[in-house]
Amino acid sequence: MSRDLFRGMTAVLSLGLVLLVFLMAFVIWQQAEASVQKSGWEFIVSRHWDPVHEEFGALPYIYGTVISTMLAVLFAGPVSIGAAIYLAEFAPRRTKALLAFVVDVLAAIPSIVYGLWGSFVLAPFLRNYIEPWLGKNLGFLPFFQGSPFGLDMLAAGIMLAIMSIPVITAVAREVLETVPDGQREPLIAMGATPWEVVRIGVIPYARNGIVGAFTLGLGKAIGETMAVTMVIGNEPKISASLFSPAHSMTSVIVNEFAQATSVLHLSSLIHIGLLLFGLTLLINVLARLLIYQMSWRVKKRNENT
C-alpha cells in the first residue's frame, strides 16, 4: 500500500468525524425547529411547562441544571485541586500510580451506578442526618429552609460533585505536571517550604489551566443524566432552598421523552437538548482554550531559554 493511500484512508476516517459533528448539530437543530419557531426566546424565561396546552417554558429545568452544576464545582473544586496538588507535587512515586488508578476507577464507574447509590444511600442519609442538622443550625439561611427531602438539589449537587472529581483531578494534575521545573527550583534554592514552592511558584503559573480543569468538570456535570435524575426529585420547582426537589435539563428529557404526547412536546424536549448541546460546546471550547493557552506559554518559554 502506498504511503498516500494509507494517509488517505486515515484522512477519510478523520474527516468523517468532522462531518459527523456537523451532521449531529444539523439533525438536532432540525428536530428542535418546531419548538424554536413556536416558543422563541420565551422558552428560556418562561416557567410554564404545559404539554396539555402546548405551552413550553424551560426555566425550571435551566435553573436546576445551573444550580446543581454550580454546587458540584463548589463542592468538588477544593477537594480535586487538593488531590491534584498532592499527586503532582507531594506524593511518593509508588502511591502515585495507585492513586491515579483510584481516580481512574472513580471516573469509570457508570453514572447509573452512582445514581443507584445516590438514591438508596446518599439521599436517605441526607434526609435523616445531614439536612435536619443543617436546618436546625443554619436554618436562618434561605438555602437550608423547608423540610428535608433527601431527593433534592443538595443531593444532586453532591452527586455531581462526586462525579466531577475524577475529571477535575486528572486534568488539574496534568496541568500541574506541565509547569516547568524552572518555576520550582529558584524557590527551593531560596529556602521555601514545599507548600510555599507550590503556592508561589506552581499555582499562579498554572492558574488558567486549573480554571480550565474546573470548566471541564462543569461541562461534564452539565451533561450528566442518570445520576441526576435519580436524586434530584424530578419536580420543576424553582426555590432557593437546597432541600427542595428540582428538575434539570437532562432529567426532564429522559423522563418525558418516552411519553411525549405531541410532535411539539417532543420538539420542545429536543429544543432543551439543543440548548444543552450549545451550552456544553461553549464550555468545552472555553476549557480547552484555557488549558492550551498554558501549554503554549510553556512551549514559548522553552523556546526562549
Partner 1 sequence: MVGFCGLSTLLISGLLLLVLGYITLHGLPGANLNFFTRLPAPVGMEGGGLAQAVAGSFILIGLACLIGIPWGIGAGIFLSEVGKDSWWGEGVRFAVDVLSGVPSIITGIFVYSILVVKLQSFSALAGGVALGIIMVPLVARNTEGILQLVPQGLREAALALGLPFWKVILKIILPTAARGIGIGVTLAVAGVAGETAPLFFTSLSNNYWSLGLLEPIASLPMEIFRYATAPFAAWHELAWTGALVLITIVVSGMLLARILLPGYNFRR
Q: What is the footprint of partner 1 within residues 187-206 (CB under 8 A)?
A: 194-195, 199
Among 44, 74, 113, 263, interactor with partner 1 by CB under 8 A: 113
Among 71, 160, 162, 294, interactor with partner 1 by CB under 8 A: 162
Among 123, 126, 210, 222, interactor with partner 1 by CB under 8 A: 222
> Minimal CA–CA distance to 231: which of 161, 162, 164, 158?
158
Place of cell 502511591: 95
Burial class (CB in 10 A: 0-12, 13-18, 19+), 51: middle
Taking the CB of residue 189, how many other CB atoms lie within 10 A of it?
A: 8
Q: Is 86 in the site for partner 1 (CB under 8 A)?
A: yes
Q: Is 286 in the site for partner 1 (CB under 8 A)?
A: no
Q: Is 96 in the site for partner 1 (CB under 8 A)?
A: yes
Residue type present at position 10 = T
Q: What is the footprint of partner 1 within residues 1-60 (CB under 8 A)?
A: 1-3, 5-7, 9-11, 13-18, 20-21, 23-24, 27-28, 30-31
Q: Is 138 in the site for partner 1 (CB under 8 A)?
A: no
Q: Is 223 in the site for partner 1 (CB under 8 A)?
A: yes
Among 112, 138, 190, 263, interactor with partner 1 by CB under 8 A: 112
Among 62, 67, 71, 103, interactor with partner 1 by CB under 8 A: 103
CB of 179 to partner 1, least distance (A): 15
Q: Is 290 in the site for partner 1 (CB under 8 A)?
A: no
- Give me the sign of the Cα torsion angle 265, 271, 273, 276: negative
* Cα 20 to Cα 16, 118, 240, distances in angstroms: 6, 35, 40
The piece of 35-43, 55-63, 104-112, 182-190 that touches partner 1 (CB under 8 A) is 104-112
Whether 51 and 238 have beta carbons less than 8 Å apart is answered as no
Residues 6+ apart with CB under 8 A from 246: 60, 63, 64, 67, 68, 152, 153, 156, 232, 233, 235, 236, 237, 238, 239
CB of 44 to partner 1, least distance (A): 18
Residue nearer to partner 1 on the CB measure, 117 or 143: 117
Among 135, 200, 280, 298, interactor with partner 1 by CB under 8 A: 280
CB of 40 to partner 1, least distance (A): 21
Q: What is the footprint of partner 1 within residues 243-272 (CB under 8 A)?
A: 250, 253-254, 257-258, 270
CB of 140 to partner 1, least distance (A): 29
CB of 229 to partner 1, least distance (A): 9
Residue nearer to partner 1 on the CB measure, 85 or 241: 85
